[in-house]
Structure 1
């Protein structure tokens, strides 16, 4: 059974969908989840393991290395085109909660990413990627992988299984200046009811102008053939209902707004 689960996890890494809402990261998280892999399942599995909905997972050590190496390889190609192939070898990789000074070297094995502060070398070989491809495939230190890559307003968004991070590859001076930027203020979602997953709106139980108590049911979302009750997290008056029953919604889509 474990071999089948691992094969499914590998298949999910290589699967890419654009335009439509999808739950590939969630399925990948399930494939890696200890309880699922042990076979201790029940109809309450999702509610038990993801009581607050699915928000992705934090990258583990391998995924941090993967994101570092992939970002360096992607940046080397894209920036190299703009610079006519003349690129520096020393960079700072920022993302996944870390700042990693690196030196890049090309060898017969592939791209070597020397982690200066850690005394380790990441070897990225057998790369199958070119600008415009949404999936990056390669071998990192002997381990096959595939991950989703897309350019962001700043850096690159890289997702491996259920972990997603925005990764920047900067010159040492640019990284120094980047550290001086004030932190961004998180968006205030206190007055919003947000869909925790992609799914189908089975019912909406409130309307504009209605007073709602914290914990009161406001909607039902069907996902993976299960109905998920969405409850208000605060007292308030409904300002607007932004979706309709029967509509398909994406993860993090706003369903209801309070005044």
Structure 2
């Protein structure tokens, strides 16, 4: 077994690798940027080395700095995790050239599968079914257009060197092809330095099915069954599960055999994933599942495979890299129950899934499930890296049970003041179509109206906030808003301010019990994965010209005030720019919701603000 391991990554995957390595008695070394010095993945390792400033291009992506850290700490092996340099064949060769063990795919296999067109040509030669399309060298617009016309629309244009949804365009008809091609090529060149593309037939009811494969240096290759990653938003996976719903034994045998054949075609060693696209318009069928690409690394969603097989894939990686044979033969592997994983992101679904950054004054996860997280309460989500907070992983005997557990888990998440997609995840996992297995890659887009929480608090939130406020409800009958009707019970109403807006709520008995906490000098309500600041109405905003607080201009996310374009006392008109907020390197102009006068202005240019902070107050009456 490897004696010492440098983990060339950060966040939850670095913690995940560290956990298994230390359990095997391996000394671990973390590398980190200066802003990550206090992160859990650093403090939990046996040693740590700072390799540069926050930008990944000056730290985590600099091979020379990582190799220097390995020499300094006498590391014997390097594990790249996923992302960053994990599929960089040049880095893998540099690691091996330095006399270190590379805990990853062979450089030759990384190169063979790194370019989509070459990989598909190799798969065709190996007898692996591939999606109908064009992989040719002639990249002239005329030839590409002719091939697309011959394939039949809709088609998908994909960057040869693409990944993560970049350099990909769906084209509905011939008239749209030229413009989509130009856009795709520009994005591919900017993202990958390579503007070559391939053309594929677009599958109208696509399911994203992938198979976990593993090879060793003794010639053994096995599969650990399939995962379904069809729940995606803009080509980014949201919820993954194993096994795939609707997969019968014969189809499973066919797709898994094809995955093993694909791995053998490149003499694969280590953990890898063969990704397939399935036409699920008539259910999953072996003759309608085609190879898309291979990921020559461990996948983000590997925990669901671990849950249904009882195996530790990181341990497998370390043993294979140490020269040991695979821990299991194919016949020793079996599927036990159902597992699902949801990616909890620091983003605000109600504002178009804009990233949300800032301190984590509250970070609580449900008990009884597996949580792979890169941060802890008291830490922060920075704008420098991927905004994933954690992965919620559940396991149950049945798919319905797993979906129920996932919905409950997402609904129990408590995060403040950073916004998350927990409420969105809870809705998705509980959606009747998802529970019934009626899914494809367009599921989220198709059901967005019922999955994405609104910008305003729901009735359930208002009821919970009003009930939580009752112990401190005013005794003044005018403030209490208790109605009076002859020969009928009084209807009790209460005014409550939620996220800066005052609502009058007619109380309904019962309802779900929220969690309420005092945070940041205020009161926050957690319910169904959402978090809302609430309290008794402030007199200055509840009455007079503020009209139930509608004139409050609140910060939609944490960020920096770039400019303030109005002054206190100034008359403004609807749609006029008031100020500009910068967050995650994006600028957002905040506009006047109606005509009025700036009655209050609480920030100046250059100020850092948290989400939900009042920035200005417009008096509509002047």
TM-score, length-normalised on structure 1? Answer: 0.39
Higher strand share: 1
Q: Which one has the bigger helix percentage?
A: 2
**Of the two, which has the highest radius of gyration?**
2
TM-score by length of 2: 0.18
